Structure 1
Amino acid sequence: MVQGVIIDNDGCLININPATGDMISKVKCTTPEQLDVIIDTAKSSQKEWRKKSVEERVDILKECIKELTDVSDQMIQLIVQEMGKPIAEAKEEMEYAVNDQDAYFDILLESIKPKKYGKSTVVRHPYGVVAIMSPWNYPLGEIMLLALPSLASGNTVIVKPSEVVPETGALLVKTLQKCLPPGVLQVAQGAGSVGEALVKHNGIDLVAMTGSSATGRKILEAAAPQLKRVILEMGGKDPMIVCADADLEKAANDAVMYSLSNAGQVCCSIERIYVAETVYDKFQVLAKEVAKDYKVGNGMETENNVGPLVSMMQKEHVKNQVEDAVFKGATMLHQSEIPNDVSKNESCFYPVTVLSDVDDTMKLFTTETFGPVVAIAKFDGSEASAVRLANDTEYGLGSSVYTQDTEKANRIAELIDAGQVGINCYPIEFMGVQCPWVGHKHSGFGYHSGKDGCLQFSIPKTIVSATD
């Protein structure tokens, strides 16, 4: 994932709308001195916050969700302005963050409350102060995924929003602070140097990040000298296997939809589509037709379903991957228009692009793309080849298998090295709230969500009593 950032001479982030190029705001970067104060405040506040029962903490977090609902319209507008995604997708992100949270809070309670085993009781202790490094592609949702279990576990939290979506993170923190005791949740703003300072600071006990594998490695290196705990959800290069007996219309629709969602700027986007050779030609035709229904434009305009990329640097990254693929023999099946009222050289819009005959000599199949590209390749249709190709990557986040043979689907799914595998579906769309979100290989270090994920934000202690 590639992004761009501008900091002026006054130490302010210049917050740019990627659809228009206009400045949204200037956001003051947190200085080292201010960071010390923020962390000291978090440490002091954590002493009282941890004394509350998990039930009390969860009840307070439920009130936080109500406060967030009250600013939903403002939040949606900010997400579109800062990140660029279509307003319909911004509404979905908002709805996911605030709706039907009862089941999630039940999981939090069940995960954290003490467990009795005979004469032994296992209790969960918070780590202390948690630094959350959040990404730009889901500037609201990803913070919530990491902040809620952190806070419920008795930790205090400092959020460092991505430097290209600072106002969304700031509004979220400001809103949740209305229900939380002072110092329990705070925000630090800035570019990579601020994030690095947070990770290395002696006052930080746990670092939780969603972002690129490159950033994840840097965090591991910075945290290692102090043996800090880390939870990292990193990049992906998710494969989709389309077998000869698949429902091709559904497969083509899903392939395009989940390659283009959020302009392809999703860690679990479908980025490698392997189609059995006997249905390869038909699949290409179907995918091309589906892609024609996607229109690129300003996310504020409801007829557009693909927004701009988040920055010019991200646009250049995607452009270079596509040009490399075409140069090496990929076939351009379709490329959409982009808005004609902006300069193609200056805007962050990139056309919806469908390529076939892609192979592993191309960057498009080896490096995370994060753009609105549908990349299709042919394979011989065998189960062995499907598994080999799916696993031919350093990543292991999501994947999917399309076939009407249930036993075959399960055999392939079992052998794919990924945290989530969908059978005839995109896994994240149907995963239960009880399920952890996991990255295998270079896609993760630790994990979040579900009961297993909630347990990552606290440490167990066993108390053994010789008397009842």
Structure 2
Amino acid sequence: MGVDKLHLLINNEDVETGQYTEVKDPGRYTDVVGLVAKGTVQHVEQAVQAAHQAFASWRQTSLEERSALFMQAAKLLEEDTSSLSEMLTRENGMLLNDAAMEVGLSPYVIYLTLENAQAFFQSKQAEDEVSFVSVEKRPIGVIAAIVPWNAPFVLTLQKLVPAVLAGNTIVIKPSPNAPISISRALRKMAALFPDGVINVIHGDTDVGTALTTHPLVRKITFTGGGKTAKHIMKGAADSLKGVHFELGGNDPAIVLDDADLDEVVPKIVQGAFWRSGQICFDIKRVYVPQAMYDAFYRRTCDLVDAYKVGHGLNPDATLGPVNNKLQYQYVKELIEGARQSGAKVIELGQKLEPANWDNGYFLQPAVVGDVEPGQDIVTCEQFGPVIPLIAYRSEEEALRMANMTEYGLASSVWSSDFERALRVTREIEAGMTFINGHGQSPLGAKLMPFGGVKQSGIGRENSEVGLAEYIEYHAINYHKQSH
């Protein structure tokens, strides 16, 4: 397979730079899958200026015109799913089926946003004998979007579509750990739009800092870690920029004592190990009634042991590698720390390609039992193929443990009694809670604002609430002449 050379995209033109960085396959890291341009602070200036100049005319276009362009963009994505999916697997590590699902969801993000936009952008007007009032929604300006590697298509489109549909222009910085496939897609999409509306840059921390502190950037939308978000927020303070953050999760699953384990355990295992545990709202810890604990533990281990760990392009693989060296080392250290602390750690699953095992960031999926609720393996965001199981003695104790964290992204409750589950759900401190499932149903994807509370984020994506992140309100009050 050939090696891609990816340039910056500024004002709908490829911009070459003096240095290119290798992107390696996390399932075979002796393979270089692409070279990505390393931008500079000067390139950030060019990109932001291009977006700023484009904003003056783009903001004047109609919602119908913008919507029509996004419909064309959705069709382009639908036509290119196969090649984009294969590249995404090679740079991200996820299974090919998961990559195809990730790319395939991108048009769906566009269609849902367009559907929600029709009602959202209507002006609210009122009139009485003495005055007329109109509350209107206007674009903000240049948006800076910084997106992660774990779900680059969906997470980029959840920022790009509402921002640009609202009349803003955008500069996007993909993650250096999976920049190629999403940048390919963005390049095709950008060509449909006027020059400067969609720009893509790459680079290190200096590029990210220059982008998030640029005085012409009016709002920053970032998905990633809390430490980086705090740095961005401090930089944004100098020019009082708006910020939207979708950050980490330490997402609890609470199993109630009336749950049917035959139904519940497979769904929880899937919710914990999807994409090797590298999804922000994956289940990160499971609270199980003391009386059910042994049975739950055995069933969990049996299911986890059935995973086949291998390269994402291996059709027999059911679990891929983690994405990068830092994450690989972090998860290994967490597992070893749990083991040293006296927890029962069991690493399971089959190694599909033993000869290639040390040439990728492969980890066997791990189940951690007999673990104390305050241990690191429980209280952090693991972001890897590991799940701790914690016993509890009462609903109150389960809720207390579930809530004793600064995270508050997603959560789930598992029960045979909907009313009981709903009551417990309403006591959980989280932006989203699922009952007897993990993830959004089609109706949930349409209506649920996506985001967290506490240190899991500021603001929301999806639904009309997500569109509201990218507008300013302009209120007009006409005073009629008195007679």
Return the match for 1:413 from 425, 434, 452.
425
Indicate the SS of the match to 1:113: coil
**What does residue 100 of structure 2 align with?**
91
Say whether the 8 Å CA contact 2:28–2:359 is kept in structure 1.
no
Letter in 2 for 1:218: H
Return the match for 2:19 from 11, 19, 29.
11
**What does residue 276 of structure 2 align with?**
263
TM-score by length of 2: 0.92
**What does residue 258 of structure 2 align with?**
245
Aligned-residue offset at 1:333: 3.8
Aligned-residue offset at 1:110: 1.8
**What does residue 200 of structure 1 align with?**
213
CA distance in 2, matches of 1:432, 1:24: 33
CA distance in 2, matches of 1:49, 1:347: 45
Structure 1 unaligned residues grouped into runs of 5+: 1-8
TM-score by length of 1: 0.94
Letter in 1 for 2:50: T
**What do the CA deviations read for 1:38-57 (whole angstroms, capped 9, x no partner)?**
11111000111000112221
Say whether the 8 Å CA contact 2:27–2:359 is kept in structure 1.
no
CA distance in 2, matches of 1:236, 1:342: 34
**What do the CA deviations read for 1:252-293 (whole angstroms, capped 9, x no partner)?**
112210111011001111011010011111111111111122
CA distance in 2, matches of 1:342, 1:160: 36
**What does residue 377 of structure 2 align with?**
364
CA distance in 1, matches of 2:411, 2:340: 27
Indicate the SS of the match to 1:193: helix
Indicate the SS of the match to 1:195: helix
Return the match for 1:424 from 436, 457, 463.
436
Count of paired positions: 459
CA distance in 2, matches of 1:386, 1:369: 20
**What does residue 65 of structure 2 align with?**
56
**What do the CA deviations read for 1:56-82 (whole angstroms, capped 9, x no partner)?**
211211111112222211211111011
CA distance in 2, matches of 1:74, 1:204: 33
Letter in 1 for 2:395: E
**What does residue 116 of structure 1 align with?**
125
| CA distance 1:383–1:449, shift in 2 (3 Å) | same
Identity %: 29
**What does residue 168 of structure 2 align with?**
155
Letter in 2 for 1:199: T
Say whether the 8 Å CA contact 2:44–2:201 is kept in structure 1.
yes
> What is the RMSD of the two structures over their aligned residues, measured on CA atoms?
1.7
CA distance in 2, matches of 1:25, 1:182: 26
| CA distance 1:208–1:25, shift in 2 (3 Å) | same
**What does residue 215 of structure 1 align with?**
228
Say whether the 8 Å CA contact 1:338–1:350 is kept in structure 2.
no
Letter in 1 for 2:28: T
Letter in 2 for 1:85: M
Aligned-residue offset at 1:332: 2.5
**What does residue 339 of structure 2 align with?**
326
| CA distance 1:101–1:39, shift in 2 (3 Å) | closer
Letter in 2 for 1:26: L
CA distance in 2, matches of 1:339, 1:290: 17
- Quick check: 1:20 aligned with 2:33? no
Indicate the SS of the match to 2:105: helix
Structure 2 unaligned residues grouped into runs of 5+: 1-16
**What do the CA deviations read for 1:294-322 (whole angstroms, capped 9, x no partner)?**
21111111221211110121111000001
| CA distance 1:195–1:348, shift in 2 (3 Å) | same
More off after superposition, 115-124 vs 437-446:
115-124
**What does residue 5 of structure 1 align with?**
none
Letter in 2 for 1:121: S
